Amino acid sequence: MQETVVKVLDVFESKYHTFIAMEYMPGGSLMTRLFEAEGRCLDEGSVRVIAYQLILGLEYLHFKKIFHRDINPANVLMVGDHDTRVKLADFGVSTVVSGSNQMAVTKCGTRRFKAPEVRLKNDTAYTSKIDIWSLGATIYLW
C-alpha cells in the first residue's frame, strides 16, 4: 500500500548536493524508539501492527518492481510519537528491476540486516526476497 511508504514532496539540487523534501514524520525512526525503550522490547501487539504495515509496504514496492534493499529500524519512520503507524523511508540504494527474471546483483544495504545472498562475495543475483529477510531481521531486533 502506498500509505506505508514516505511521500517525496520535492527534489532539488545544488552544485554539490541533492535535497529531498519528504513528508514530516514526527515520531522519528523505529531505531530511535527502540533506543528510548532502554532494552525493553515492544509489546507483541505493537510488533504485529508494525510488521503488518511493513509487509503491505513491501508488497506495494515489489508489485512496482522496486527492491528497497535496506530494510532496517533506522529506515522505518513512525507517523506519531505514541503511534504504531509506520512508513518505509530511505530509498537511496533501492532499485527498479525489469525483464522477466526480476533480479539484481549489486551488493548494498546495512550489514547487520543483509540477506545471505547479498553478503556472498561472488556476483550472485537475488530477488525481492532479500527485503523479506531484512524485515525478519528487523522484527527480530524488536
* Contact indicator for 70, 108 with CB cutoff of 8 Å: yes
CA distances from residue 36 to 15, 26, 41, 142 in whole angstroms, order as listed: 38, 15, 11, 12
Q: Which of 70, 90, 123, 131 is catalytic?
A: 70
The count of C-alpha atoms lying within 13 angstroms of the C-alpha of 61, restricted to the half-sphere facing its C-beta, is: 28
User: What residues are paired with 126 via a beta bridge?
Assistant: 104
- Other beta carbons within 10 angstroms of residue 90's beta carbon come to 19
Residue 70 catalytic? yes
**Active-site positions?**
70
